Amino acid sequence: MRVFLNNKEAAFVGRGTNIWSNIHVCDVARAFLVIVEHALKLKNITEDGQNTQRDGFDNFYFTGAGEHAWGPVVQEIARAMYQRGLLKTSATKSVPIEYDRILSYASGSTSRVKSTRLRALGWTPKEKNIMDTIDEDVDASLEMMKSNIKPNF
């Protein structure tokens, strides 16, 4: 949003077809609980003397509830920002990757994960998907900006 405010327009890199996995923070919190419970079970097995040697990658758990292409997400953000009087139009535009460093990392790249191992432990996402939370996310971002809270990139 800060990029859109600074440039006075909502934009995405390329065709807006780059895909990212997404997840609600509450689903991430539940995933941590499932992983901790699983780790405690493994610890108990180790204390009982059973061999639990695993591959190093067994310690990686990906969280993903769904996927989105950046074009439609930016369109929804632009709509929400326009409705709040933050942009002069709800129109979006395609820009080259050099347009903005932060924007290039997000809508100019693809990042996909599958939470296969986590789901095997019984975890499932329960929260709304990204498209259903755009309005509340825009409002929360505005509050952060008013408080001068900036992301660390």
pLDDT tens per residue, range 96-133: 999 888 888 888 999 999 999 999 999 999 999 999 99
Spatial separation of the C-alpha atoms in residues 33 and 56, rounded to whole Å = 21
> Which structural domains are found in the chain, ordered by start?
2-146 (3.40.50.720)
Q: What is the pLDDT of residue 103?
A: 86
CA-atom Rg of the chain in angstroms: 20
10-residue block means of pLDDT along the chain (153 residues)?
91 95 96 93 65 68 95 97 96 93 88 95 96 95 83 53
29: DSSP letter: H
Q: What is the pTM of this model?
A: 0.83
